Amino acid sequence: MTRFSALSLFTKALGGHKGWEQQWPDAQPKPSYDAIIVGGGGHGLGAAYYLARKYGITRVAVIEKGWIGGGNTGRNTTIIRSNYLYDESAHLYDHAVKLWDGLSQELNYNTMYSKRGVMMLAHNVHDVQSFKRHIHANRLNGVDNEWLTPDEAKEYCPPLSIDPNARYPVLGAALQRRGGTARHDTVAWGYARAAAALGVDIIQNCAVTDIRRGPDGAVEGVETTRGFIGAKKIGVSAAGNTSVIMKMAGLDFPLESYPLQALVSEPIKPVFPCVVMSNTVHAYMSQSDKGELVIGAGTDQYVSYSQRGALHIIEHTLASICEIFPIFRRMRMLRSWGGVVDVTPDRSPILGKTPVRGLYVNCGWGTGGFKATPGAADLLAYTIARDEPHRINAPFNLDRFRNGRLIDEAAAAAVAH
């Protein structure tokens, strides 16, 4: 596989961009592997890459029921930040943000990670108190986060309305300057290409239908729509479908799957310099490099696997956007879509071992999994390779729902995040 470089781009451009080789082969399943990752999103592909790159397990297959990056990796609003309240969360998300730095170089694939800053708006006294508490907690954990007055917020993001008579007045904002966005597709493709180069098989259009377990209870492999594939270690990174996969191994999980919608506007000239989140009114916005405003909504209220949500959710979000950014009132929306997010009771992920020997899980990222992609992938790979969790993901075990050691970011944020 040839490496991408300025020279290779330039010479291929001279040839009309013809002659680019296939970036990774469309692998066919082999009878067995040392490890199988179920789910070909960024998290799963990344886990396969780190297994091969860092932890020396190269006989790995990624099994995806659809096409890679076609699930939540391709359906999110690409926000990256790590300003979470609790120590465990701050360490987990900051591990990911540190890996985002340098990921393009490591993968030789431009993930377009842009540290344009994530600004979270405070609209009421509760927001102000909660965000300031987050800022203090973050700084104690070495995570950058700072308080902005309304005028400073306006200076950082000029389209913002700070009119004190607005429907959602801006009383201030928390800004994480290291936060930002990345290009979602390139994350999946970059990991896939780099993993395949290390010998990982990436198998698409192959749905797992059962998990086979031996007489001792340990996993022996997976039944799929393309036959049985053996492996002593299986990592499940299946987002909204995790409950379904886990039931195949006889496990009931503390997860519920909800539709989460996003939409983009028609493309316009660069006007929006950062990411703005308003948790209180469920509106999240940035501008893509193509010029579209990328807007995220809240989840629908009911459990669903339909990958679509109701229009009134989007209307609610757009009404808020129009109040906060009156400049966009006459923008037209181009496309909307939904993903299925797996939500835990404490809104923190589950990342570690399961009661079934040889079965590992990375799930429960809810509405905020994209930002964690490199970190979750690395920690899942570590846990699979060592058969024990890394100290960063150890607190995010399944046992916490039994022993009560919850990491309650839901209560900390009081909203989806």
Partner 1 sequence: MFLIDCPYCEERRPENEFAYAGEAHIARPLDPSALSDAEWETYLFIRANPRGRHNERWRHIHGCGRFFNAVRDTVTDKFECTYKAGEARR
Residues interacting with partner 1, by CB under 8 A? Answer: 241, 243-244, 252-257, 301-306, 308, 310-312, 345, 401-404
Nearest distance in Å: CB 254, partner 1: 4
Residue closer to partner 1 by CB (options 70, 254) is 254
Nearer to partner 1 by Cβ, of 29 and 259: the residue is: 259
Helix (H) or strand (E) holding 219: strand 219-224
DSSP E strand boundaries for 300-410: 333-343, 350-353, 359-363
* In the complex, minimum distance from the CB of residue 85 to partner 1, in angstroms, rounded to a whole number: 21
- Helix H or strand E encompassing 258: strand 256-265
Q: Which is nearer to partner 1, 159 or 254 (CB)?
A: 254
Strands 172-176 and 227-230: unpaired
At 220, which helix (H) or strand (E)? strand 219-224
Quote the least distance from Cβ 115 to partner 1, whole Å. Answer: 36
**343/372 with CB nearer partner 1:** 343
Q: Nearer to partner 1 by C-beta: 104 or 354?
A: 354
CA 107 distance to own-chain centroid: 18
Min CB(299)–partner 1 separation in Å: 11
Phi, psi dihedral angles at 363 (to 5 degrees): -155, -175
Cβ neighbour number for residue 86 with a 10 Å cutoff: 18
C-beta atoms surrounding 28 within 10 Å: 9
d(CA 377, CA 56): 15
Closer Cβ to partner 1, 244 or 322, answer by number: 244
- Measured from the CB atom, the residue of 322 and 406 that comes closer to partner 1 is 406
Distance of CA 225 to the CA centre of its chain: 27
Measured from the CB of residue 363, what is the shortest distance to partner 1 in angstroms? 11
How many Cβ atoms are within 10 Å of 251's Cβ, its own excluded? 18
274, 174 Cβ separation under 8 angstroms: no
Instruction: For the CB of residue 344, give the shortest distance to partner 1 in the complex, in Å.
Output: 8
Whether 286 contacts 270, CB under 8 Å: no
CA separation for the pair 182, 200 (Å, rounded): 24
* Burial (CB count <10 Å: 0-12, 13-18, 19+), residue 346: buried
Distances from the Cα of 117 to the Cαs of 14, 75, 81, 283, 405, in angstroms?
36, 21, 8, 16, 32
CB of 91 to partner 1, least distance (A): 24
- Please report how close the Cβ of residue 405 comes to partner 1 at its closest, in angstroms: 12
Q: Which is nearer to partner 1, 187 or 313 (CB)?
A: 313
Instruction: Compare residues 105 and 306 and give the one whose CB is closer to partner 1.
Output: 306
Q: How far is the CB of 242 from partner 1 (least distance, A)?
A: 9
Contacts for 227 with CB less than 8 Å, ≥ 6 apart: 29
Side chain identity, residue 343 = V
